[in-house]
Amino acid sequence: MNDILALLVTPAFFYAILRVTTPILFAALGNVISSKAGVSNIAMEGTMLTASLAGVLASAYSKSALIGLIAALLVGVLFSAFMAYLSLYLGTKVIMAGIALNLFASSFTVYILYMFTGQKGNSASLASKQIPSVKLPLIDKIPVIGEIFSGHNILVYVALLSVAAIYIMLNKTKLGTHIKAVGENPAAAASVGIKVRRVQFTALCLSGLLAGFGGAYMSMGYLSMFTRDMIAGRGWIAIAASAMGRSMVIPTTITSFLFGIFSAIGNVLQLQNIPSELITTLPYVAVFIGIVVYSVRKSRGGRS
């Protein structure tokens, strides 16, 4: 027990928290944007998965990590745009469209992977590129602080900067005002000339862009290849983080980090003699507890 506690107070543990929280934070912030517009992006899992494969394939064949990242972002946007078209213009229920696209992505990525590599499990045979890590000047020299915050993949810092960027976008820009107006009262927004479906379509595409960042990080930063179903529920965890954060940027960021902490604890416990099957359930147990607490608080607030 003392060994576990000792591992939980090291700079390496806090470094790991930032590392494992990044994909959840990207997706959760994306879902904040779409939820503010009244259309939660239920296809977050599938969006991240297809983007992660696109990044690997594009970087492998172009020999450029930047082109791989752009491809991942483009696929993330297109995947979410397709969901937006299904739900906003064809009248498909958002939940049904999202679940269908998630199931489609799980099988489609394996098919595409097999077409390009002849393998169904991973892309190890492809010489894909990684998005580089960077050391922060000055901060890198500070004891403990430098060990925690410096030396991360570039997308870790992009995720942290995205918190401020999305907060400003939602609260200080015309687009953000329209997104919130549409989410709060579509009829009232339409009455003052706001194109409701266009705003919702844009919000879903922006959520897909952020999910694309998360997918690219998973296959070009967190790992150096694509593996089958590698998102492993992070998209759903992000949706839960957004719900617990009431679709607000700062609370959603906090809940994302809470789930990241549980994931990091799970990684630490893997070093101990604890069954791996139990360890892998830890983040999902955290989601379950979080949703229960959120539901209880919401029901009490409704009664009061």
pLDDT of 301 above 70: no
The alpha-helical segments, DSSP class H, found in the chain are: 2-7, 11-36, 44-62, 65-84, 94-117, 145-149, 154-172, 174-184, 186-191, 196-217, 234-244, 249-269, 276-280, 282-303
pLDDT of 176 above 60: yes
In this prediction, residue 79 has a pLDDT band, given cuts at 50, 70 and 90, of very high
**How far is the C-alpha of 206 from the C-alpha of 210, rounded, in Å?**
6
For the stretch 194-223, pLDDT in tens is: 999 999 999 999 999 999 999 999 999 999
Residue 268 has what pLDDT?
A: 74
What is the mean pLDDT of the segment spanning 30-34? Answer: 96
b/e per residue 44-61 (b: at least 16 CB within 10 A): bbbbbbbbbbbbbbbbbe
Residue 289 has what pLDDT?
A: 78
Nearest to 279 by CA among 271, 291, 287: 271
What is the mean pLDDT of the segment spanning 27-48? Answer: 95
Residue 240: which residues within 8 A CB-CB, separation 6 or more? 255, 259, 287, 290, 291
Residue 133: its H or E element: strand 133-134
Residue 288 has what pLDDT?
A: 77
Residue 3 has what pLDDT?
A: 61
What is the mean pLDDT of the segment spanning 21-43? Answer: 95
What is the mean pLDDT of the segment spanning 292-296? Answer: 73
**How far is the C-alpha of 258 from the C-alpha of 286, rounded, in Å?**
9
Residue 302 has what pLDDT?
A: 59
Reported pTM: 0.91
In this prediction, residue 299 has a pLDDT band, given cuts at 50, 70 and 90, of confident
Nearest to 216 by CA among 62, 79, 84, 47: 47
Nearest to 213 by CA among 133, 132, 154: 154
In this structure, what token pair is assigned to residue 265?
Answer: 């604890």
Q: What is the mean pLDDT of the chain?
A: 90
Instruction: Map out the domains of the chain with their CATH numbers.
Output: 2-131+152-297 (1.10.3470.10)
**How far is the C-alpha of 198 from the C-alpha of 186, rounded, in Å?**
12
Nearest to 255 by CA among 267, 243, 264: 243
In this structure, what token pair is assigned to residue 181?
Answer: 């107006």
Residue 90: its H or E element: none
Residue 169 has what pLDDT?
A: 96
Nearest to 162 by CA among 24, 302, 25: 25
What is the mean pLDDT of the segment spanning 253-271? Answer: 84
